[in-house]
Every structure is written in C-alpha cells, then in structure tokens.
Amino acid sequence: QYHLTVFWATASLIYLCALFFSFLSVYFLAKSGTKYFFISLIFALLSAFTGGNGMIVFFVGLFILLLQKHKKFLFLWLIIMLITISIYFYGYVMTKSASAIDIGDWFTKLFKITGYFFVYIGSSTDLLNTMSVANRLKPLSLFALFLVGLIMFLYFVFLIKKEYYKKNQVMFFFLVFLFLCSIALAVFRSKYGISQSLHSRYRMIPVLILALSYMSLVEILPKKNITKYFPAFLVFSVLFNILSYYGNYGEIVYHYKKSLFGLSEWMYNKKDYLKLVPERTNIILTKAIENKYYIPPEINYFEFTSKRALLQLPLPLPGETNNIVSNIEIEKDTSPLMIELNGWAFIKGVDSKHCRIC
C-alpha cells in the first residue's frame, strides 16, 4: 500500500528512516535506565533531523518520562528538545504551501481536518485501492473509511482507559507517536482535499496503526479467546497482505517502469531525468554511481524508448532476430554508466527508417 515510499526519495526518508529512528527512541526510553536514556536521545535526534515529523518523538518522550517519574531525565530531555527545535527552525524557509495555511473559518477548517484525519487513519483498509478509480461509489467508500478511522481512534481511547500503557509502553507510545503524526498531517494537508489522505506515500502510518492495534488486541485478549480466534486472525492477516498487493500491483509496476524509463533517458542524453534541475541531477547521480553508493539496474534502453516512439509509427516493433548485418566496435568505457559503440547495423528486409537496433 505504501509503495511510493520506495520510489519517492523524500517519502522514503520520512516514512522509513524517521519512523524507524522514532520507534527505536521510544523502545529504549521505555526500558528505563541511564544508558538507555542516552541511546533513546541519540535516536530522537536522528529522527528529528531526518524528517520534520520526527520531532514529535520528543513530545512522546515527555509522556514516557512523566509516567516513569524520572525528573532529572525529564528536565534534560526537555532542554535538548527545545534546543533541537530551535536549531531545526533557525533560518527555516517556509514553503508557499505551508505558509499559506488558511486560518479564516475555524469551523470549516476544523471540519476538514477532522474528516481528513479519520479517513487517513482508516485508509489502510482500502485494500483494493478503490479510491484511485473514478466511480460513483467514492462518497460511500469515503464514508466507510471515515467510520473505520473513527473505530480505530475509539479503540485507542479504549486502550487508554484500560491503562495499556502500563502493560506495553513501547506499543502504546509508538501508537501515540503515529496518531500525533496523523494529526499533524491533517492540519497541514487537509486544505488539498480529503482524497490526498489516501495517497500511497502517506499510507505507511495508517498501516502501522492498524498493525499495532491488531497486536495490542491480541495482547489484551484472554488466552482462551486467542486460541479460539487464532484461525480468524491468521486468515485476516493473510488476506490483508494478499489484497493489498493485488490492489496496488498495477501502480507498483507502473512506477517501477516509469523510474527505469527516466533513468534510461538520463543515461542516454544526461538531461531528461529531472528536467527542473538537470545539472544537479547529473552531478548527484554520477557521483553516486562512481562511488558505488547507487548501483543502477540493468536497463534495455531500446525497450523503454522505442515503445514510446513507435506509438506514432504504423509498423509494429520487430522482435528479436539473427538476421542482422553489422560492423560495430566496442570502445573503452567512457563513463561508469554506459559503453560506447561505434559502427553500423541493420536488419535485412526492414526499412532502416522504421527500425532501431540496440
């Protein structure tokens, strides 16, 4: 469901690395002890400077330390939190989208934020990705997702009343972190419309909320009920994963091929991968490949480029053939990206104007 976190670099940092660092921070802080406190602090700093929402873990840490009644650690945590926030926002340039938050009609604004929040929380249950297809059932689907999000939030309130934070601090406070991240997203993104809450690059948090809620339910149920309902839990887990992949497989393949096509275009002419900043793109990718930070996959440039060009040609793309006449010499590597071929080649019986050989 969250496949765009793989293809989108910024989303990967925020929703993979920052979440991982935040979880580790909560995990070590919940263990209690001087050594674990400083380890937790290190991961909190890593989370904060990896992505903006990573700073939320500092506020979650305050709750944990208050529960543990560690006054010295609480004071130190608060000081470092304030310093971190000050450093983060020093000279910070707000984007137009973030600085243009409408504070006019508070009732309308609150209504949008609330709707966005609950639909976002429930979006993980849109297994077949139905909201990406234009159909008349969208209003009904949105209402269903809203109800699911509301139920999950009420379940979290139930965990608070059951004092689940005493039973499993890590699970509970990471849920707190995820819910606070969801609120922040709703506040800053609700103005773009409720449909954006279903975007794949945001989907990891709702999926984690569902998974942790599921795990907490198993933990608080009596053992005899766990044994009784285990087959149902198992079937639900398997179906959830299968349907999630099935519903998003088409988009996953599309974005994968799109990224390969962009990379192959860049390898061929060095300018079309990111048209807004081609010079910077060239420098970053070239250095990454030369230093082996990034190893590009094997790409058949002909497969990606010719299909687009031949859409406008009356002749079909010829398949593989051994009926080729050629005189080609392979030159020494001129870059870490491609080899250079000099010479000529053609397929017998095929007009060269409608044929390319790679």
pLDDT, tens digit, 9 for 90 and up, residues 232-270: 888 888 888 888 888 778 777 887 777 777 777 676 665
Higher pLDDT, 195 or 176: 176
Say what the pLDDT of residue 100 is.
47
pLDDT at 99 over 80: no
Residue among 158, 159, 154 nearest 173 (CA): 159
Give me the mean pLDDT over the 309-336 stretch. 49
pLDDT for 95: 61
Q: Give the predicted TM-score (pTM) of the model.
A: 0.73
If pLDDT is split at 50, 70 and 90, which confidence band does 210 have? very high
- Amino acid code (one letter) for 205: I
pLDDT in tens, 26-80: 999 998 788 999 999 999 999 998 888 889 999 999 999 999 888 889 999 999 9
Which residue in the block uniquely carries the two structure tokens 């509301």?
Answer: 150
pLDDT (average), residues 87-105 = 64
Q: Could you tell me which residue, 6 or 116, shows the higher pLDDT?
A: 116
Query: Once rounded to an integer, what is the mean pLDDT over residues 204-230?
Result: 86
Strand partners, 325: 346
- pLDDT at position 276, please? 60
Q: Who's near 323: CB < 8 A, 6+ residues apart?
A: 347, 348, 349
The gap from C-alpha 167 to its chain's centroid, in whole angstroms, comes to: 30
154 has a pLDDT exceeding 80: yes
